Amino acid sequence: MEGNQQITSKRQLKLIQAVKANDDSVENSLATTSRNLQIINHQDKDESNNDYTYVGHLEDFFENEMGAYHVGNEVSNASIVRHFCSQMKTDDAFYIVDLSYFVKRYLQWLHYLPRVKPYYAVKCNPNKFIIKTLAHQDIGFDCASAEELDLVLATCPSINCEKKIIYSHPCKPISHIKYFRQHHVQMTVIDNEDELFKIKEHWSDAKVLLRLKITKNGNSMSTKFGANQYQIIKLLKLAKQLNINLVGCSFHVGSQCSDRNLYEQTLQFARKIFDLATTEECGGFKFTILNIGGGFPVQFSEVAEMIQDMIDKLFPEEEGIQLMSEPGRYFTSESTMLICNIIARRTHNKDYSSEEEEEVECHTRITKEEDEKDLIRKADILYYINDGIYGTFNAIIFDQKLFYVNYMRKYMKKEEEQEYKSVIFGPTCDGIDCISNSISLPLLNIGDYLWFSNVGSYTNSCATSFNGFKTKKYFFIWRS
């Protein structure tokens, strides 16, 4: 392999002249596919390298505790990928994670939302290295199950559960309620009467938040969780009868939300409930906590400034309201790259189609599934890689994620090459394991690589080990 990077004794990855930028080793391809595998040019402002996100003082933590390699800011992702490909002794897929990204996102959070304490949503990416890195910054954790709580406790045995963990699921198994109480977690969320009765019987000393239903222009944004004003008033009255310690409200506006009107309507609703709760009719509660949930977009600054302005107006600092949040994707999305190996291919793919498949009667309606199969039949080349729809790429189905795709040859070629209509399959025996059914790529060889940026959220957390395939190998880097 040409142009490998060298790592110094200080675990530092340096750019050397053998790799020119990355033009010769890595090229991008635009995927035009119904499965939404695409290249998108980022025009957004990079907020990860401002003065307030400098993390050089954490060198000892990153290198000695976490085993991460230091990478200069001038080193391209392509160079990093090529280096770690050279370190692999097998053809397994692997991840490269920038641990400093988590810390920089936290520092950015403090810059834009200094009044709001984040509790990382563990479900987004439940890996110990993320939990340990965020805990090192004194961040709390949003756990939705006993298993997520166990993961945090195993990673941070000395964590103060009273202050650092919230049980954020509105609808909880009784066994989990008992487990959280046993571990001294204090705060949880409810949105229905039955949940109040469960709390009364099994966790009577809990601090309870009311989950608000999100509406936009009178229309509900969620059918699964949240209570409207009518139900909230009933819950306030019942909580008073049961002597439940209601302490505030929570809400979740939905993933990647940048809608100013939605935030404004929801915060105004929360303010209204805060005021209603104080009335004698509704129980005379004094709410002290507002949880603004998650759903924050990766491109954060403008949304954060908008939220901060609204919070300052509706919940002024002199009221002493404790503000909290449950970001997940915000912390992890752009932290991770996935590198896959081309483990097999089929050239001359059109020759494999039967005559019956090629005959389509004019009056026959073509379904979407048939149309996708037709794209595969008409492709020139099929590539098979060692991660797929049952693994990291489950996000195509469950999260409607658009993936960035890059290719890297094991042995570089200089000449211009023809591109071919191609298909990318995952490694399992299931035909549905198709990552892209229409993408233009040059002729690549077995052993070459496809790699994907921004795979840190709701990818491996939802992955299975179906057919015995799951990406488990990680390399860690950090940038100052």
Question: 1-99+335-480 is classed in which CATH architecture?
Answer: Beta Barrel (2.40)
Residue 383's nearest CA partner among 309, 448, 333 is: 448
- DSSP label at 31? B
Q: Pick 9 or 289 by higher pLDDT.
A: 289
Instruction: Find the length of the chain.
Output: 480
Q: What is the pLDDT of residue 233?
A: 97
- Residue matched to tokens 């795979």: 455
Taking only the tens place, the pLDDT of each residue in 251-282 is 998 888 878 888 899 999 999 999 999 999 99
Residue 440's nearest CA partner among 39, 109, 133, 67 is: 39
The set of catalytic residues is 429
Taking only the tens place, the pLDDT of each residue in 370-386 is 677 888 888 889 999 99
Question: Has residue 324 got a pLDDT over 90?
Answer: yes
Taking only the tens place, the pLDDT of each residue in 410-422 is 887 766 678 999 9
Q: What is the pLDDT of residue 218?
A: 58
Taking the C-alpha atoms of residue 97 and residue 101, their distance in angstroms, rounded to an integer, is 9
Question: Has residue 216 got a pLDDT over 80?
Answer: no
Q: What is the CATH number of domain 100-332?
A: 3.20.20.10
Q: What is the pLDDT of residue 357?
A: 55
Comparing 17-26, 175-184, 191-200, 354-363, the range with the smallest average pLDDT is 17-26
In whole numbers, what is the pLDDT of the chain averaged over residues?
Answer: 86
Task: Give SS3 for 181.
Answer: helix
**C-beta separation of 389 from 425 below 8 A:** no
Q: What is the pTM of this model?
A: 0.87
Q: What is the pLDDT of residue 174?
A: 98
Q: Which amino acid, 118?
A: P
Residue 320 exposure: Cα atoms within 13 Å on the Cβ side: 4
Q: Pick 153 or 13 by higher pLDDT.
A: 153
**C-beta separation of 413 from 448 below 8 A:** no
- DSSP label at 197? H
Q: What is the pLDDT of residue 367?
A: 56
Taking the C-alpha atoms of residue 83 and residue 373, their distance in angstroms, rounded to an integer, is 37
Taking the C-alpha atoms of residue 135 and residue 460, their distance in angstroms, rounded to an integer, is 21
Q: What is the pLDDT of residue 456?
A: 95
Taking the C-alpha atoms of residue 19 and residue 414, their distance in angstroms, rounded to an integer, is 13
Listing DSSP states for 323-359 in one string gives EEE--SHHHHGGGEEEEEEEEEEESSGGGGS-HHHH-
Q: Pick 17 or 37 by higher pLDDT.
A: 37
Comparing 3-17, 43-57, 159-173, the range with the smallest average pLDDT is 3-17
16 exposed, middle or buried (CB, 10 Å; 0-12, 13-18, 19+)? exposed
Rg (CA), the chain: 25
Q: Pick 86 or 367 by higher pLDDT.
A: 86
Q: Where are the domains of the chain?
A: 1-99+335-480, 100-332
Residue 412 exposure: Cα atoms within 13 Å on the Cβ side: 15
Please state, for a pLDDT cut of 90, what percent of the chain lies above it: 71
